Amino acid sequence: MRLDDLPTPCLVLDRGILKRNIDTMARRLARHGVPLRPHMKTAKSIDVARLAIAGQPGGITVSTLAEAEYFASHGITDILYAVGITPQKLDRVARLNSAGAGVIVLTDDPDTAGAIAAHGRPPRALIEIDCGEGRGGVFPGDDLLLAIAARLGPCLAGVMTHAGHSYAGRSAKDMARIAEAERAGVVCAAGRLREAGHPGPIVSMGSSPTALHARHLDGVTEVRAGVYMLGDLFQAEIGTNDLDAIALTVLTSVIGRRPGRLLVDAGGLALSKDRSTADAPRDYGFGLVLDPAGRRSHGDAIVRRAYQEHGVVEADPGFPLDLPVGARLRIAPNHTCMTAAAHDRYFVVEGSDEIVAIWPRVNGW
Amino acid sequence: MRLDDLPTPCLVLDRGILKRNIDTMARRLARHGVPLRPHMKTAKSIDVARLAIAGQPGGITVSTLAEAEYFASHGITDILYAVGITPQKLDRVARLNSAGAGVIVLTDDPDTAGAIAAHGRPPRALIEIDCGEGRGGVFPGDDLLLAIAARLGPCLAGVMTHAGHSYAGRSAKDMARIAEAERAGVVCAAGRLREAGHPGPIVSMGSSPTALHARHLDGVTEVRAGVYMLGDLFQAEIGTNDLDAIALTVLTSVIGRRPGRLLVDAGGLALSKDRSTADAPRDYGFGLVLDPAGRRSHGDAIVRRAYQEHGVVEADPGFPLDLPVGARLRIAPNHTCMTAAAHDRYFVVEGSDEIVAIWPRVNGW
């Protein structure tokens, strides 16, 4: 099967680029002697996970319990569910752990910590630390940290933070500064817990930009990152990946022609409505238009508008885009996590137009 | 099973509201004596389709071939695939039609019209007319219309237009004006075809706003509309539905607390990144926060930010939102077509918190 045989729209994953991205991250972290717990929320695929954990301890991070169940069913047992847990979800975690998994949960709430400790089959838990993102987590110096630790008791497994605000950085220097604040915040929290007599072996930090740009990771026991595997236009804008290191594209067909633009069958569902690059130095609309081989033959043509099933491609005036209905294009996405989630599988290529594998994804909750 | 038993995030569909919305549209169109070919791109559910076609001729509109295959497998045969066809997709249509369906395709391209007519099992086809939206279609007065008709030959089944630009309207008067331009455009195109000797019995127009607000539909043989069934915040802003006629919400759990805001487990995947209301009179962020019974107990609280799996709810200062982790909320969506697409089923309620049915959806392509 070749690219031309695929129904459109669909996801095309370049395994060569994927492997290079995974290798780059592994080498960067090896300099610091800190292992990776790859975040599978982007790829949601056991085939990608196997590549990402090669040479690492073997644990992963997930963003849904559906992912935890899927990866556990494929033999991965060390799983961090890195979204705040609710008491109601503990039974589902317990079923996985009773069947042999070791799902670790996350909280920043004393009452939830109490519910974890009181559960009939309590999981290990991390306390979420806010290192400046302002989303979830307690501040490292907040007494709430010690209160939660006390409620967790023997369930306490450590601390975790996520510098999601690194996405507001625009240079390697910005990222190094944010990475240091992330590291210092979570290490400080871990130190306060130890001083108070709470053991907590895991000190976990990470986001793709801070994982790549951190100058040192002293005191950190593991790094989490996910989007680096596939890359996207927004990550290119903030320096995580080069434009030619985007492993994921959406294959699409031309379905209409007008002067200076084309209609394609990749719209808001196939690409997502994510507009991350609207605030980046370069705004790519709903995606950058590539030729069927993934090359930039069409200059700066982008998907300017996205309806449910229609994308409107605006040509770069320097690169006329005179293609017939049925011609194929590939669209590099703004935000690969969001784009991939509308699709149930990857069509995998490596250096040619031959489909070398089909890898399923686990969507939903 | 009750709402409290459901895993979050998930879709909750209120069947009572759904039925009222379907009834309202049917009564509006009955005034004009024009039947409805409901667009199933929003609901993507055979259970919803059965309600929507009751009392109508029985044909539907779809936006993907996956929908066409799904609805055909459930016994609906008269299916308009209302997105421009490519030559490569004709085999898939032919397989459906050989098995007993009557899938009608759409084109605005002479070469594609030629490919349709030359196919071994050619489907019937409509010519897409641009009535001012500026997306797909030929203008009613363009000679291209006659060229495409000539290429289609006996496959020509009529004309179709979609006033998607009605979404830029902000009043019933705007909508009535756009509806009349939509009607006049498609009726003019049909007349030109008849004058040139091309029979084309179908004269199809529609969007939810223009279907509701048209003053007359002379010359039109069918109306298409879809989002009116479920409704959403954007459609409320443009007058298609009242706020209390939104049948679809996302059930979510509180996963974190901070002063003045909550974290919930409905983020950009569960709600979509659609920001339609950003350009409406009232900007609802990523959705309006309702209580578990679907009431506006929290005033103007909205989901202000959406990460992949985290939503940040900003409280309305007049309505404190002091809820524990694990508490439930429901979120009314900006754009119901986009929000529903991340989920594989509806949990159906009707007048209480009891789940009276689970209805699957057909996603993907």
- Which residue is closest to B87 within chain A, CA to CA? A326
Which residues of chain A lie closer than 8 angstroms to B118, CB-CB?
none
B307 touches A at CB < 8 Å: yes
- Nearest C-alpha of chain B: how many angstroms from A348? 18
B358 touches A at CB < 8 Å: no
B10 touches A at CB < 8 Å: yes
How many C-beta atoms lie closer than 10 Å to residue A194's C-beta?
Answer: 11
Of B42, B305, B189, B147, nearest in space to A167 by CA? B305
Does ipTM come in above 0.95?
A: yes
Nearest to A7 among B63, B275, B365 (CB): B365
Contacts with B, A 212-231, CB within 8 Å: none
pLDDT of B225: 98
Nearest to A253 among B88, B273, B343 (CB): B88
Which neighbouring-strand residues pair with A251? A10, A330
Cβ pair A290, A332 in contact under 8 A: yes
B170-216 pLDDT tens trace? 899 999 999 999 999 999 999 999 999 998 899 999 999 999 999 99
Judged by CB atoms closer than 8 Å, whether chains meet at A308 and B253 is answered as no
SS (H, E, C) chain A: CEHHHCCCCEEEEEHHHHHHHHHHHHHHHHHHCCCECCECCCCCCHHHHHHHHCCCCCCEEECCHHHHHHHHHCCCCEEEECCCCCHHHHHHHHHHHHCCCEEEEEECCHHHHHHHHHCCCCCCEEEEECCCCCCCCECCCCCHHHHHHHHHHHHEEEEEECCHHHHHCCCHHHHHHHHHHHHHHHHHHHHHHHHCCCCCCEEEECCHHHHHHCCCCCCCCEECCCHHHCCCHHHHHCCCCCHHHCCEEEEEEEEEEECCEEEECCCHHHHCCCCHHHHCCCCCECCEEECCCCCCCCCCCEEEEECCCCEEEECCCCCCCCCCCCCEEEEECCCHHHHHCCCCEEEEECCCCECCEEEECCCCC
pLDDT of A316: 95
Which residues of chain B lie closer than 8 angstroms to A10, CB-CB?
365
DSSP alpha helix (H) spans, chain B = 15-32, 46-53, 65-73, 90-98, 110-118, 144-152, 172-195, 208-213, 233-237, 268-271, 336-340
C-beta pairs of B92-101 under 8 Å, 24+ apart in sequence: B92/A7, B92/B65, B93/B65, B93/B68, B93/B123, B94/B119, B94/B120, B94/B121, B94/B123, B96/B68, B96/B69, B96/B72, B97/B121, B97/B123, B99/B72, B100/B72, B101/B68, B101/B72, B101/B77
pLDDT of A320: 80
Judged by CB atoms closer than 8 Å, whether chains meet at B136 and A343 is answered as no
Residues 6+ apart with CB under 8 A from A296: A243, A288, A290
Judged by CB atoms closer than 8 Å, whether chains meet at A253 and B87 is answered as no
- Nearest C-alpha of chain B: how many angstroms from A270? 8
Judged by CB atoms closer than 8 Å, whether chains meet at A268 and B136 is answered as no
Cα-based distances in Å from A251 to A288, A315, B105, B164, B221: 12, 17, 22, 25, 36
Based on its alpha-carbon atoms, the radius of gyration of chain B, rounded to whole angstroms, reads: 21
Cβ pair B184, B217 in contact under 8 A: no
- Which residue is closest to A136 within chain B, CA to CA? B256
B298 touches A at CB < 8 Å: no
- Which residue is closest to B336 within chain A, CA to CA? A308
- Nearest C-alpha of chain A: how many angstroms from B20? 25
Name the E strands within chain B: 10-14, 60-62, 78-81, 102-107, 125-129, 156-161, 202-205, 222-223, 248-258, 261-264, 288-290, 302-306, 311-314, 328-332, 345-349, 357-360
pLDDT of B260: 87
A287 touches B at CB < 8 Å: no
pLDDT of A293: 96
DSSP B138: B
pLDDT of B170: 87
Cβ pair B222, B37 in contact under 8 A: yes
pTM: 0.97
Low-confidence ranges of chain B (pLDDT < 70): none
Low-confidence ranges of chain A (pLDDT < 50): none
Nearest to A136 among B9, B164, B310 (CB): B310
Judged by CB atoms closer than 8 Å, whether chains meet at A88 and B326 is answered as yes
Nearest to A84 among B85, B256, B272 (CB): B256
Look at strands A288-290 and A328-332 and give their pairing: antiparallel
